[in-house]
Amino acid sequence: MTDSTPLTRRTLVQLGGATAAGAGTLLLAACTSAGAGGSGGTGGTGGSGGSGGSTTVALSSIPVGGAVSASIGSAPVVVAQPTAGTVVAFSAVCTHQGCTVAPQGKEFDCPCHGSTFDAATGDVINGPARDPLPKLTATVSGDTVTVTN
């Protein structure tokens, strides 16, 4: 019997694994964003990849010592104000598995696997992410912050 339905991660989990040699590796590979042998990176889901877009945020909406979420097109970004008048911006795509990080005070937290990033630098505070968030360009003009990638 031939079935053209693709073998999905859900099907593998529902089957409880397969009995053939190497099936455990296949199941684990299906749980990564890049599959077997991949890097597990952002998979092109945003980042600072270069669409050349921009967004604006009111400076008054960014708390000093905190951050806000925004987006450039469909790419999520985070904009922080570590000290009064100093603004930085980063891709909000976690460098571990591509989930969207959220501002939490002086940190960005990834809800998927618990990585935390410094809101002032984008550096990893706590893994499993190893790489910092890609930095974007943030310029302040009056009460308007323009973020470009």
Q: Over the stretch 118-146, which tens digit does the pLDDT of each residue have?
A: 999 999 998 899 999 999 999 999 999 99
How much is the pLDDT for 103? 93
Can you give the pTM of this predicted structure?
A: 0.65
Contact 75, 91 (CB under 8 A): yes
47: region left, alpha or beta (phi > 0 left; psi from -120 to 50 alpha): left
Residue ranges and CATH numbers for the domains of the chain are 1-31 (no CATH), 54-148 (2.102.10.10)
Q: Of 52, 46, 56, 50, nearest to 147 (Cα)?
A: 56
107-109/135-141 β-pairing: unpaired
pLDDT bin (cut points 50, 70, 90) of residue 92 is very high
Per-residue pLDDT tens over the stretch 26-80:
333 333 333 333 323 323 333 334 457 999 999 999 999 999 999 999 999 999 9
Predicted local distance difference test score (pLDDT) of residue 109 = 92
Cα 137 from Cα 96, distance rounded (Å): 22
Sign of the CA dihedral running 66, 64, 82, 140: positive
- Token readout for 27 is 């199941």
What local confidence, expressed as pLDDT, does residue 52 receive?
A: 73
**Sign of the torsion formed by the C-alpha atoms of 132, 136, 139 and 143:** negative
In the DSSP assignment, the letter for residue 100 is: B
Compute how many other C-beta atoms are within 10 angstroms of the C-beta atom of residue 129.
Answer: 21
Whether the per-residue pLDDT at 3 is higher than 70: the answer is no
Determine the pLDDT at residue 51.
Answer: 52
